[in-house]
């Protein structure tokens, strides 16, 4: 009797799979249905890959289904371009969601009818107070909310107003529809959350058919139910939103149109962030618009489009996502895990060929006729691991190992890597030196007899003798100078120089380093892309363009799918052969251990030593985790967890500005005043200032100055900005004469900058900032100076 092998799991057992297994065993659900609901307001990134792996993987493991649904309820930020890119990326990852993609916008009419049903039940009302007043009336964590004067409108009045909102009779912000839940709830999310808002903007799918749109909380629960979802999986920052999810299902599920669908339940897992990168769409947009990368598909970007163009295979992304796993807590993932998954995937799929990236010419003085050398595509370890004893050619055809070879020509003139020769070799150097020998891969041993240099003493050419038999300590690769193909090699590396660029930016105190502090862009790695020109063996010309190679000793590469042409080959480095960053970190740790490490050049915000702090109570620990889940740095979240006064102020301000953007200001700039009770600024005032900062209308220097004045005078920050016309100057026409004058006044520093002292950029930008009293846009200034200085 034949048996079918069990289907391999994608997702390792965890607390969510335990819930699912119990639900299936008890008959709560007959079939598991999950969903992956990205918002089409940007490109998919590695965070989306991990989340989608969980959603689709769990559905796969339990024979269920996973819906791909666009959460398109914000017409001001969403585009068809983003929706199409998200669908293409999920298809590239290999996910199957059936014949159709689901859209929240498909359900707008049904969602509207459910909102009317809540009004008819007396569970929702139209509120007409301002956003600032609404935030004030919600109360604080220690003080219950106050009912809006419109909370007790009659059902008839609420229905009439809501229908007029739909008809477009009111401007943006005039009214909102709120749930009537509990203004005294300790969960702030339950204090009459907004269900619908007025937004007069064209939707990329429905056009101008609608001018009211559901909130995230209302749309997620209801569309999950309409899609037949059983287990709604989301990250930990939505743990408090679950109460709204359940409230909506308590009052809507079981009635049309949800009378024939399973009741969904929400479960949260810890969010995964990745070292040496950022995944905030706003910050990724800054990288693109600021010219730090070459677009959303730049191979340095954490977007799936960028990873795809770099040459990463979807199998590697899925392998990585599976290794990350699921837990109840947030965790930062070492980027080495991703790089390791990519190497593991390519090791058995990328044939080996030779290329020289930094060419040094070698003349084999005694070689009179070219020789043909047969080189294998695969090393012995890969051959031994082959389950069927066969290996692949670059074409994909599987053959016996002895057939997986290509022919290369050894000619009188060849190229080797420049760093494979040293006049003054370091200890342990096993390559070529004057008078020394080395083995050319599969082509014999050479001895360096003489060498030539240019006027700067740089070695330009070696004259060597090819020996039939001789001892050699090392082996190097090579290509024929006459037959190799010229190529451009793009050596991509990590995008940032520090593991946590956002957290590092918040901790910087030295405002002289750059004029706009707390800016993650200062940690962009200037060596994240190095372009070199070398040569690759001609065998690659007959291979499919999408072939990925291991270039001997240089890393894994493939041809750039957009820029590479038959007449001009361009290769992207997908990943290095080894984790060079880990070795550098090990050297740094050893230097610190032996006392050789240099004192850090910049000061950081000092935090109390952990051992000197009293342990957090369970309640404080919960507050800490909640704040960290919403993107607040741990050091600041700890302070907020211990100090309810600061936390209350932050939560009130967060009603009208991003909480993660506010936290640093509350803790570091307002902390002392709030503790002493002398803060003369309202939460809404700080929120308004931060909104201007986030929108780019002011910079950090302006914000700090305005905040300091507001604390002294009690004046609203927005009024100070307006009265003093403190807007960031971004007009290049206004900035250019100032930049030109400063450069003219500092010819010695201009010369030093052009000679390689790039750190002087901070000096030039700082001079412009002082000249403009801090109102210049530092990014624009830097772009202008870079252009002026070439």
Gap between the Cα atoms of 727 and 730, Å rounded: 9
Q: Which two tokens stand for residue 87?
A: 């669908």
Gap between the Cα atoms of 340 and 347, Å rounded: 10
Contact present, 478 and 535 (Cβ < 8 Å): no
Contact present, 61 and 9 (Cβ < 8 Å): yes
Q: Which one, of 4, 90, 6, 15, lies nearest residue 52 by Cα?
A: 90
Do β-strands 65-70 and 102-103 pair in parallel, antiparallel, or remain unpaired? parallel
Phi, psi of 9 (to 5 degrees): -75, 150
Q: Is 580 helix (H, G, I), strand (E, B) or coil?
A: helix
What residues are labeled active site?
Answer: 39, 271, 281
Gap between the Cα atoms of 170 and 162, Å rounded: 10
Gap between the Cα atoms of 440 and 277, Å rounded: 39
Cα atoms found within 13 Å of the Cα of residue 698, Cβ hemisphere only: 24
- Helix 717-724 / helix 683-694 crossing angle, nearest 10 deg: 50
Gap between the Cα atoms of 540 and 727, Å rounded: 55
Contact present, 508 and 602 (Cβ < 8 Å): yes
Distances (CA, A) of 96 to 52, 67, 70, 101: 11, 9, 15, 10
DSSP assignment string, 367-397: --S-EEEEEESS-HHHHHH-TTS-EE-TTS-
Do β-strands 548-551 and 529-536 pair in parallel, antiparallel, or remain unpaired? unpaired
Point out which residues pair with 565 in neighbouring strands. Answer: 568
Q: Is 509 helix (H, G, I), strand (E, B) or coil?
A: coil
Gap between the Cα atoms of 595 and 590, Å rounded: 9
Q: Which two tokens stand for residue 610?
A: 């952990």
């Amino acid at each position: 009797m034949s048996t079918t092998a069990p289907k391999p799991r994608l997702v390792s057992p965890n607390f969510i799979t335990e819930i699912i297994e119990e639900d299936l065993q008890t008959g709560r659900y007959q079939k598991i249905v999950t969903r992956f609901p990205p918002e089409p307001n940007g490109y998919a990134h590695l965070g989306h890959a991990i989340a989608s792996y969980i959603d689709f993987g769990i559905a796969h493991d339990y024979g269920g289904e996973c819906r791909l649904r666009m959460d398109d309820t914000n017409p001001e930020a969403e585009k068809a371009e983003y929706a199409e890119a998200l669908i293409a990326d999920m298809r590239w990852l290999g996910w199957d969601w059936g014949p159709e993609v689901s859209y929240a916008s498909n359900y707008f009419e049904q969602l509207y009818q459910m909102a009317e049903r809540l009004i008819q039940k007396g569970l929702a009302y139209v509120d007409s107070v301002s956003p600032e007043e609404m935030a004030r009336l919600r109360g604080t964590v220690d003080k219950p909310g106050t009912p809006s004067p419109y909370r007790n409108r009659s059902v008839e009045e609420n229905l009439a107003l809501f229908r007029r909102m739909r008809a477009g009779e009111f401007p943006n912000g005039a009214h909102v529809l709120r749930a009537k839940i509990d203004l005294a709830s300790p969960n702030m999310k339950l204090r009459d959350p907004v269900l619908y808002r007025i937004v007069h903007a064209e939707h990329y799918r429905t056009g101008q058919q609608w001018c009211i749109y559901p909130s995230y909380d209302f749309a997620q629960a209801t569309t999950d139910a309409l899609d037949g979802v059983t287990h709604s999986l989301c990250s930990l920052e939505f743990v408090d939103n679950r109460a709204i999810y359940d409230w909506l299902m308590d009052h809507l599920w079981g009635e049309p149109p949800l009378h024939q669908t399973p009741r969904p339940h929400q479960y949260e897992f810890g969010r995964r962030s990745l070292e040496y990168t950022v995944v905030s769409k706003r910050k990724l947009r800054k990288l693109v618009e600021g010219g730090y990368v070459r677009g959303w598909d730049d191979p340095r970007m954490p977007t799936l489009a960028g990873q795809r163009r770099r040459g990463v295979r979807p199998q590697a992304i899925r392998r990585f996502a599976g290794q990350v796993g699921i837990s109840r807590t947030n965790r930062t993932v070492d980027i080495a895990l991703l790089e390791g998954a990519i190497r593991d995937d390519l090791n058995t799929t990328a044939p080996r060929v030779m290329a020289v990236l930094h060419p040094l010419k070698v003349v084999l003085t005694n070689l009179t006729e070219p020789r043909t050398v047969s080189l294998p595509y695969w090393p012995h370890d890969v051959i031994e691991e082959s389950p069927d004893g066969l290996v692949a050619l670059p074409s994909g055809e599987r053959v016996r190992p002895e057939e997986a070879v290509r022919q290369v020509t050894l000619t009188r003139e060849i190229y080797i890597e420049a760093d494979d020769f040293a006049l003054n070799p370091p200890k342990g150097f096993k390559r070529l030196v004057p008078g020394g020998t080395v083995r050319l891969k599969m082509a014999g041993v050479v001895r360096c007899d003489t060498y030539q240099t240019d006027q700067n003493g740089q070695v330009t050419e070696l004259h060597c003798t090819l020996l039939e038999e001789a001892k050699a300590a090392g082996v190097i690769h090579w290509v024929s100078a006459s037959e190799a193909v010229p190529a451009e090699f793009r050596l991509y590396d990590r995008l940032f120089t520090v593991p946590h660029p956002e957290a590092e930016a918040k901790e910087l105190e030295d405002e002289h380093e750059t004029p706009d502090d707390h800016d993650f862009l200062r940690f962009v790695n200037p060596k994240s892309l190095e372009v070199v020109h070398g040569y690759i063996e001609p065998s690659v010309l007959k291979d499919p363009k999408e072939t990925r190679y291991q270039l001997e000793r240089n890393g894994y590469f493939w041809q750039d799918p957009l820029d590479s042409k038959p007449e001009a080959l361009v290769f992207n480095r997908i990943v290095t052969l080894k984790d060079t960053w880990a070795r550098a970190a090990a050297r740094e740790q050893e230097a610190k251990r032996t006392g050789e490490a240099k004192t850090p050049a910049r000061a950081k915000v000092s935090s109390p030593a952990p051992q000197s702090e009293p342990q957090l109570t369970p309640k404080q620990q919960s507050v800490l985790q909640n704040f960290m889940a919403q993107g607040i740095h741990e050091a600041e979240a700890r302070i907020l967890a211990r100090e309810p006064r600061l936390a209350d102020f932050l939560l009130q301000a967060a009603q009208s500005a991003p909480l993660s953007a506010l936290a640093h200001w509350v803790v570091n700039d307002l902390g002392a005043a709030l503790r002493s009770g002398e803060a003369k600024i309202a939460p809404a005032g700080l929120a308004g200032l931060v909104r201007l900062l986030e929108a780019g209308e002011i910079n950090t220097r302006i914000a700090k100055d305005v905040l300091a004045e507001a604390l002294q005078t009690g004046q609203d920050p927005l009024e100070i900005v307006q009265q003093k016309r403190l807007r960031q100057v971004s007009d290049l026409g206004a900035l250019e004469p100032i930049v030109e004058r400063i450069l003219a006044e500092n010819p010695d520093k201009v010369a030093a900058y052009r000679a390689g002292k790039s750190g002087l950029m901070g000096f030039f930008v700082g001079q412009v900032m002082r000249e403009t009293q801090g109102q210049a846009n530092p990014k624009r200034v830097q772009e202008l100076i870079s252009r002026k200085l070439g």
